[in-house]
Amino acid sequence: MAIFMVCFFNYMLRVNMSINLIAMVQPITNNNKTHIAECLIINGKMNQSDDFSQLSVVPDYGVRYTWTSKQQGLILAAYFWGSILTSIPGGYLAERFGPTKTIAISNIVSALVTFLTPFVADWSWIAVIAFRFILGLMAGVCYPALHCMVSRWVPPDEKGKFGGALLGGTIGTVVTWPLSGSIIEHLGWSWAFYIQGGLVLAFSCVWLIAVADSPDTHPRISKEEKFYINKCLGEGVGKVKATPPYLKIFASIPFWALAILHFGNLWGLYLLLTAGPKYMSEVLGFNLGHSGLLAALPYLARAISGFVFGFVGDVLRKHQCLSVTTIRKLFVTTSHFLPGVLLLTILCAGCNITLCIALITLSLGFNGSSSITNIQNNQDLSPNFAGTIYGIINCIGGTTGFFTPMITGYLTADHNGLKEWHIIFAIGASVYISTGIVFCIFGSGDQQPWNQIDTKQVEGVDNAAFDGGASKETQTTENTKV
pLDDT of 27 strictly over 90: no
* DSSP letter for each residue of 405-473: HHHHHHHTSS--SHHHHHHHHHHHHHHHHHHHHHHHHH---SPPGGGS--GGGSTT--GGGGSTT--HH
Q: Report the relative pairing of strands 33-34 and 29-30 from DSSP bridges.
A: antiparallel
- How deeply is 26 buried, as exposed, middle or buried, from its count of CB atoms within 10 A (0-12, 13-18, 19+)? exposed
Is residue 202 pLDDT above 90, yes or no? yes
The residue ranking higher by pLDDT, 98 or 40, is 98
User: So what's the pLDDT on residue 168?
Assistant: 76
448: Cβ contacts below 8 Å, ≥ 6 apart: 248, 252, 254, 255, 381, 382
CB atoms within 10 A of CB 178: 20
The percentage of residues in the chain with a pLDDT greater than 70, rounded to a whole number, is 82
pLDDT over 90 at 185, yes or no = no
pLDDT reported for residue 244 = 85
**Inter-CA distances, 338 with 161, 362, 432, Å:** 22, 9, 9
Residue 34: strand pairing partners: 29
pLDDT of residue 260: 97
DSSP for residue 45:
S
pLDDT of residue 462: 44
Residue 471's pLDDT is 41
The yes-or-no verdict on residue 38 having pLDDT over 80 is no
Residues 6+ apart with CB under 8 A from 55: 34, 36
* Positive or negative torsion for Cα 271, 272, 278, 283: positive
Count the residues in the chain.
482
pLDDT given at position 36 = 58
Dihedral of CA atoms 272, 7, 172, 74 in degrees, nearest 10, equals: -40
DSSP states of 365-415: HHHGGGGGTTTTHHHHH-STTHHHHHHHHHHHHHTHHHHHHHHHHHHTSS-
| Confidence bin at 460 (pLDDT 50/70/90) | very low
pLDDT above 70 for 31: no
Residue 334: its pLDDT value, please? 95
What DSSP string describes 158-210?
GHHHHHHHTTHHHHHHHHHHHHHHHHHHHH-HHHHHHHHHHHHHHHHHHHHHH
Q: Do domains 1-30+60-237 and 249-450 have the same CATH topology?
A: yes
387 compared with 337, residue with greater pLDDT: 337
Tell me how many degrees the CA angle 224-225-228 measures, rounded to the nearest 5: 90
Q: Where are the domains of the chain?
A: 1-30+60-237, 249-450
Q: Can you give the pLDDT at residue 50?
A: 46
pLDDT of the residue at 240: 55
**Pick from 254, 241, 464, 202: which is nearest to 380 by CA?**
254
Query: Per CATH, the architecture of 1-30+60-237 is what?
Result: Up-down Bundle (1.20)
| Phi, then psi, of 339 in degrees rounded to 5 | -60, -40
Quick one: pLDDT at residue 53?
45
Indicate if the pLDDT at residue 160 is higher than 90: no
DSSP element (H, E) containing 347? helix 338-349
Contact 361, 413 (CB under 8 A): no
Torsions phi, psi of 30, nearest 5? Answer: -130, 125
Task: Count how many Cα atoms sit within 13 Å of the Cα of residue 52 in the half-sphere of its side chain.
Answer: 15
Return the percentage of the chain with pLDDT > 90, whole number.
33
Would you call 239 helix, strand, or coil by DSSP? coil
pLDDT tens readout for residues 287-301: 655 655 676 788 888
pLDDT score of 149 more than 70: yes
Reduced to 3 states, what is the DSSP secondary structure of residue 324?
Answer: helix
Give the class (CATH, top level) of 249-450: mainly alpha
**Which residue type sits at 147?**
H
Average per-residue pLDDT for the chain: 81
